[in-house]
């Protein structure tokens, strides 16, 4: 568990109150961190705010925020005014209701947090809420002010704890209808569909996150290592470019078939056949819906020495 909580407060279900703490569930802090340097001196650069008209550095106590209403025209907001617009924060996540676990579209999932009891005295209440959710097979919608903004979170059981996933606001999620509006109707031959099903069946598996490597991160670690050790840097091999091929031929080859083949062969190797029918795909949705890596020790060592 992370040594420091991101947020501490209370979880409130009617008259039931439980002290809780949020911990970041996903972090990029383990990634290699690169800094901007002066190429000539090797010194790390500093970032400053410059007024483009005067060329002078603007110190922190002279900086304010502003909203652009026209080209070069801004409404200026003082820090006190921005602070006054921040909702009142009572450090409480209030349960608004309960819904089936799978009801919220994944598109609305923003950021996951581990929600734990804040102290030993809160563990019993926490356990009652957790097991109540588990027994009822539901998730809780909770709301509260986090990081100066009001947020809605989806609270779900996860092993012996709870996951609180911050949800995006409706206006932040783009319409799937707009995204797929120009995709036309396509008639799909029975053989094509059978071949596609066969390919899918042969590649069925399970999700194992440890099997997927961040190749960019691993390449950065190796690059830093090589530079530190004075080794020659080898340029990466150019990836082969895909060729545009006939769709039916590509499906047959992917299914392990050679040459032209025939529909009987395809149906013998495929799954269920959609006999006498032609499938079509068309975007009709009117709602918003859409669709470690290098060794930790090596990464940490390279990061420390490279910083």
């799937």: which residue's tokens? 176
Residue 242 has a pLDDT of: 67
Domain that holds residue 191: 179-234+247-306
In a domain, 149, yes or no: yes
Instruction: Give CA–CA dist 35/38, Å, rounded.
Output: 10
Residues 185, 268, single domain; the answer is yes
| Contact of 26 with 42, CB cutoff 8 Å | no
Last residue of a domain, one of 153, 172, 191: 172
In SS3 terms, 79-143 reads as HHHHHHHCCCCCCEEEEEEEEECCCCCHHHEEEEEEEEECCHHHHHHHHHHHHHHHHHCEEEEEE
Count of the separate structural domains present in the chain: 2
In a domain, 190, yes or no: yes
Instruction: Give CA–CA dist 162/20, Å, rounded.
Output: 11
In a domain, 261, yes or no: yes
Calculate mean pLDDT across residues 59-75. 92
Please determine, for residue 88, whether its predicted confidence score (pLDDT) is greater than 90: no
Residues 205, 302, single domain; the answer is yes
Instruction: Give CA–CA dist 104/76, Å, rounded.
Output: 38
Instruction: Give CA–CA dist 164/157, Å, rounded.
Output: 9
Residues 168, 185, single domain; the answer is no
Q: What is the DSSP string of 44-55?
A: BP----B-TTT-
The set of residues, in sequence order, having a beta carbon less than 8 Å from that of 126 and lying 6+ positions away, is 11, 18, 20, 116, 117, 162
Query: Residue 3: which pLDDT band, with cuts at 50, 70 and 90?
Result: low
Residues 104, 230, single domain; the answer is no
Residues 201, 90, single domain; the answer is no
Instruction: Give CA–CA dist 21/23, Å, rounded.
Output: 7
Q: Report the share of the chain in percent with pLDDT over 70.
A: 82
Q: How many angstroms separate the Cα of 268 from the Cα of each of 85, 133, 194, 195, 305?
A: 66, 47, 9, 10, 59
Higher-confidence position of 114 and 28:
114
Question: What pTM does this model have?
Answer: 0.71
The separation between CA 116 and the C-alpha centre of its own chain, rounded to angstroms, equals 22
In a domain, 118, yes or no: yes
Calculate mean pLDDT across residues 75-96. 91
Instruction: Give CA–CA dist 285/260, Å, rounded.
Output: 37
Residues 159, 268, single domain; the answer is no
Calculate mean pLDDT across residues 162-166. 98
In a domain, 21, yes or no: yes
292 in helix, strand or coil? coil
Residue 4 has a pLDDT of: 87
Residues 143, 211, single domain; the answer is no
Last residue of a domain, one of 127, 152, 172: 172
Residues 261, 278, single domain; the answer is yes
In a domain, 79, yes or no: no
- Per-residue pLDDT of 256-294, as tens digits, reads 875 444 443 434 444 443 333 344 444 444 444 433 444
Residues 146, 207, single domain; the answer is no
Residue 7 has a pLDDT of: 96
| Contact of 254 with 173, CB cutoff 8 Å | no
* Burial tier of 218 (Cβ tally within 10 Å: 0-12, 13-18, 19+): middle
Residue 256 has a pLDDT of: 81
Residues 95, 206, single domain; the answer is no
Residues 11, 151, single domain; the answer is yes
Q: Which residues pair with 281 in a beta bridge?
A: 186
Instruction: Give CA–CA dist 69/53, Å, rounded.
Output: 20
Structure-token pair, residue 161: 């704890």
Least confident among 55-69, 89-103, 240-254: 240-254
Please determine, for residue 297, whether its predicted confidence score (pLDDT) is greater than 70: no
Residues 226, 127, single domain; the answer is no
In a domain, 291, yes or no: yes
Calculate mean pLDDT across residues 45-71. 93
Last residue of a domain, one of 122, 138, 172: 172
In a domain, 102, yes or no: yes
Calculate mean pLDDT across residues 175-200. 91
CATH of the domain at 141: 2.40.290.10
């Amino acid at each position: 568990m992370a040594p420091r909580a991101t947020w501490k407060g209370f979880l409130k279900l009617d008259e039931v109150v439980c002290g809780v703490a949020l911990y970041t569930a996903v972090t990029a802090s383990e990634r290699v961190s690169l800094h901007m340097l002066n190429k000539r001196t090797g010194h790390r650069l500093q970032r400053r705010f410059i007024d483009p008209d005067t060329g002078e550095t603007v110190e922190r106590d002279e900086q304010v925020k502003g909203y652009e209403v026209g080209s070069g025209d801004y409404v200026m907001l003082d820090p006190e005014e921005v602070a006054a617009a921040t909702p009142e924060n009572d450090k409480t996540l209030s349960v608004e209701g309960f819904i089936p676990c799978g009801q919220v579209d994944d598109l609305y999932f923003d950021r996951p947090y581990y929600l734990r009891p804040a102290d030993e005295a809160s563990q019993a209440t926490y356990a009652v809420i957790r097991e109540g959710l588990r027994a009822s097979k539901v998730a809780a919608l909770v709301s509260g002010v986090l990081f100066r903004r009001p947020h809605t979170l989806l609270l779900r059981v996860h092993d012996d704890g709870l996951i609180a996933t911050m949800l995006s606001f409706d206006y932040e999620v783009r319409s799937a209808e707009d995204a797929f509006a120009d995709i036309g109707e396509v008639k799909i031959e029975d053989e094509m569909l059978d071949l596609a099903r066969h390919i899918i069946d042969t590649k069925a598996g399970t999700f194992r996150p440890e099997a997927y490597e961040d190749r960019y991160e691993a390449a950065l670690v190796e690059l830093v290592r090589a530079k530190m050790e004075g080794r020659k840097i080898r340029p990466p091999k150019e990836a082969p470019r895909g060729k545009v091929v006939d769709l039916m031929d590509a499906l047959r080859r992917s299914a392990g078939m050679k040459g032209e083949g025939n529909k009987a062969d395809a149906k013998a190797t495929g799954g269920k056949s959609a006999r006498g029918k032609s499938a079509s795909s068309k975007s009709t949705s009117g709602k918003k819906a859409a669709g470690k890596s290098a060794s930790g020790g090596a990464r940490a060592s390279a990061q420390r020495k490279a910083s």
